[in-house]
């Protein structure tokens, strides 16, 4: 069997001294789209921020394209008299190195510069592509995927709707020419109509074969975009379901409930 593109082994982390997730194991193969579903506040975003290098893992491995992204060893072995020597030396995981490898995380909540225009944001996004090629082709595809962004190209971000901001965020992620694109709650707070529009765009991205890791609170919507689903509860993966066993809303509720029994 081929190696996974992303492999997470026994990953633990959080915001010291509070642990948020523990012993997370997850893998994603080339061409695959996977989903992560779980209740609010149980640590999905914290796990993704750790993959992106924004917070340091405490223990475990993050392997991407066969390379380890984080320093090995438990974090506490590197602590001495409450001094974390990683701060003075180097981080346990470096966000710039993660982007260089092509693991691109589109954060929850559309963190964009409000005073920049759509075109200005899309013009700086390719800087994250580094050595990866294909930016020009991607720039052409952006307006096909998101026709609204063409209409709104000279608008400042702060005048856009939530759905339009999400489109800019995803477009910026695509212009980084990802090898894996992570979308954290792309449809949060959107109208059903906007959810459909965004869903169609994500499906089109998936059809290009780009590996995706998607988090969404609407399980039926999420399952329409993925090949495999991981259930995440109280900071750990509780179950993995393949495409033949995608749950509907009622099934997911009983599965999540079961894991507490």
Residue 224 binds ligand ATP (CB under 6 A) = no
Minimum CB distance to ligand ATP smaller for 40 or for 133: 40
Q: Report 9-28 residues binding ligand ATP (CB under 6 A).
A: 15, 20
Element of type H or E holding 259: none
Element of type H or E holding 218: none
Q: Which one of Mg ion, ligand ATP, none is in contact with 42 (Cβ closer than 5 to 8 A by kind)?
A: ligand ATP
Question: What x-and-dash track marks residues 155-194 binding ligand ATP by CB under 6 A?
Answer: ------------------------------x---------
* Residue that the structure tokens 């759509």 belong to: 118
- What residues are paired with 35 via a beta bridge? 214, 229
Minimum CB distance to Mg ion smaller for 45 or for 110: 45
Calpha distance 215→106 (Å, rounded): 11
* Cα 158 to the center of its chain, rounded Å: 23
Q: Which one of ligand ATP, Mg ion, none is in contact with 25 (Cβ closer than 5 to 8 A by kind)?
A: none
Minimum CB distance to ligand ATP smaller for 1 or for 18: 18
Q: Are 236 and 12 in contact (CB under 8 A)?
A: no
Q: Which one of Mg ion, ligand ATP, none is in contact with 166 (Cβ closer than 5 to 8 A by kind)?
A: none
Element of type H or E holding 142: helix 135-145
Q: Are 215 and 184 in contact (CB under 8 A)?
A: yes
Q: Are 168 and 157 in contact (CB under 8 A)?
A: yes
Q: Report 27-56 residues binding ligand ATP (CB under 6 A).
A: 38, 40-46
Minimum CB distance to Mg ion smaller for 44 or for 228: 44
| Residues making contact with ligand ATP (CB under 6 A) | 15, 20, 38, 40-46, 108, 185
């Amino acid at each position: 069997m081929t190696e996974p593109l992303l492999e997470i082994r026994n990953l633990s982390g959080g915001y010291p001294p509070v642990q948020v997730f523990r012993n997370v194991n997850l893998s994603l193969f080339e061409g695959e789209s996977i989903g992560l579903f779980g209740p609010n506040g149980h640590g999905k975003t914290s796990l993704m921020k750790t993959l992106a290098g924004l917070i340091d893992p405490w223990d475990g491995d993050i392997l991407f394209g066969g390379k380890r992204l984080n320093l090995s060893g438990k974090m506490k072995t590197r602590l001495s008299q409450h001094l974390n020597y990683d701060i003075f030396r180097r981080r346990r995981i470096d966000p710039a190195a993660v982007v260089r490898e092509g693991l691109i995380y589109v954060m929850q909540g559309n963190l964009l510069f409000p005073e920049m225009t759509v075109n200005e944001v899309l013009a700086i996004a390719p800087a994250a592509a580094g050595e990866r090629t294909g930016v020009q082709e991607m720039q052409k595809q952006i307006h096909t995927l998101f026709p609204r962004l063409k209409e709104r190209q000279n608008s400042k971000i702060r005048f856009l709707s939530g759905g339009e901001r999400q489109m800019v965020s995803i477009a910026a992620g695509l212009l980084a020419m990802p090898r894996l694109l992570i979308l954290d709650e792309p449809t949060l707070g959107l109208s059903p109509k906007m959810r459909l529009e965004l869903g169609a765009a994500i499906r089109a991205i998936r059809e290009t074969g780009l590996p995706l890791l998607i988090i969404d609170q609407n399980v039926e919507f999420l399952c329409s975009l993925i090949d495999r689903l991981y259930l995440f509860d109280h900071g750990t993966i509780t179950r993995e379901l393949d495409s033949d066993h995608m749950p509907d809303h009622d099934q997911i509720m009983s599965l999540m409930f079961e894991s507490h029994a």
